């Protein structure tokens, strides 16, 4: 058993979709969550900037003596996972592989769609791994640059016109490709699941964050690293504005986190260097 907390980071609120699933599966774990809202959207940054911001988040988590780091961000996983894994003294988990594995198991017609940020789609990581695990799959990926920002602003109601316009912009290629399974490759997107379903009709949605939480849980249990005993606690940190973060997190989680939230100084993203 390892008593130390699990560290989770995202560019903002999206990673809460992963943190919440982990908390449900592993209620005895302490969790340290950092949302780098000041620097979001990561999806519009260069790979170098994404690596640098991810390193900062990871340093912050290591200062809290975490036993494992969960990158609850598709963009940071696709652009920085391999680098962080080499540099970090504790195990680092990302969202891509678990989501891809679930998609491969889920699809019945062999046609899989990916919705993710611009930087994730450009990295080709989701597409590459899908093809590697199941070469005969037909894969369609589309970037949705406005989606994460909307969710971060608390705009995700299925009837909100701004959301509907964005969905009309991003989803037609997946509909035309007749996909039966879609990977929500950015952890902000599960908040838009209703909108995506309304547009797409019958389709299975894979939440990358939740899929990764399930796989992380299995791994920690297998390695004897899970914590047991008293109920764990989640502490939240944001580099953005605390009130906005806690209001929107409250909307997403259905509970008030303001007592457990601290604002920290924005982490400068040119600190460079390795972990």
- Summarize as ranges the residues that interact with ligand DGL (CB under 6 A): 10-11, 14, 40-43, 73-75, 117, 120, 148, 186-188
The CB-of-187 to ligand DGL minimum distance in angstroms stands at 4
Output 42 or 236, the one with its CB closest to ligand DGL: 42
State yes or no: is 73 an active-site residue: yes
The CB-of-239 to ligand DGL minimum distance in angstroms stands at 12
Output 117 or 246, the one with its CB closest to ligand DGL: 117
Closest residue to ligand DGL, Cβ-based?
43
Output 88 or 212, the one with its CB closest to ligand DGL: 212
State yes or no: is 144 an active-site residue: no
The CB-of-145 to ligand DGL minimum distance in angstroms stands at 8
- DSSP collapsed to 3 states, the chain: CCCCCEEEEECCCCCHHHHHHHHHHCCCCCEEEEECHHHCCHHHCCHHHHHHHHHHHHHHHHHCCCCEEEECCHHHHHHHHHHHHHHCCCCEECCHHHHHHHHHHHCCCCEEEEEECHHHHHHCHHHHHHHHHCCCCEEEEEECCCHHHHHHCCCCCCCCHHHHHHHHHHCHHHHHCCCCEEEECCCCHHHHHHHHHHHHCCCEEEEHHHHHHHHHHHHHHHCCCCCCCCCCCEEEEECCCHHHHHHHHHHHHCCCCHHHEEECCCCCCCCCCCC
Output 13 or 257, the one with its CB closest to ligand DGL: 13
The CB-of-76 to ligand DGL minimum distance in angstroms stands at 7
Catalytic residues: 73, 186
């Amino acid at each position: 058993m390892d008593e130390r907390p699990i560290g989770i980071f995202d560019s903002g609120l999206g990673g809460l979709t992963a943190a919440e699933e982990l908390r449900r599966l592993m209620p005895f774990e302490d969790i340290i969550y950092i949302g780098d809202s000041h620097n979001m959207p990561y999806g519009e940054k260069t790979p170098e900037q994404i690596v640098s911001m991810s390193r900062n988040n990871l340093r912050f988590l290591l200062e809290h003596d975490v036993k494992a780091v969960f990158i609850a961000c598709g963009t940071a996983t696709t652009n920085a996972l391999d680098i962080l894994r080499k540099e970090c003294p504790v195990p680092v988990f990302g969202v891509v592989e678990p989501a891809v594995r679930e998609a491969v198991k889920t699809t019945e017609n062999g046609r899989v769609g990916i919705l993710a940020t611009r930087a994730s789609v450009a990295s080709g990581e989701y597409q590459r791994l899908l093809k590697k695990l199941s070469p005969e799959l037909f894969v369609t990926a589309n970037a949705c640059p406005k989606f994460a920002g909307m969710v971060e602003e608390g705009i995700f109601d299925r009837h909100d016109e701004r959301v509907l316009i964005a969905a009309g912009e991003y989803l037609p290629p997946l509909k035309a490709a007749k996909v039966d399974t879609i990977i929500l490759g950015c952890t902000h997107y599960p908040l838009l699941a209703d909108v995506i379903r309304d547009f797409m009709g019958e389709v299975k949605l894979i939440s990358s964050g939740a899929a990764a939480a399930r796989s992380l849980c299995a791994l920690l249990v297998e390695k004897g690293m899970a914590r047991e005993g008293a109920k764990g606690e989640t502490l939240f940190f944001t580099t953005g504005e605390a009130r906005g973060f806690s209001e929107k997190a409250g909307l997403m989680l259905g509970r008030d986190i303001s007592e457990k939230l601290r604002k920290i100084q924005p982490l400068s993203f040119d600190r460079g260097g390795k972990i």
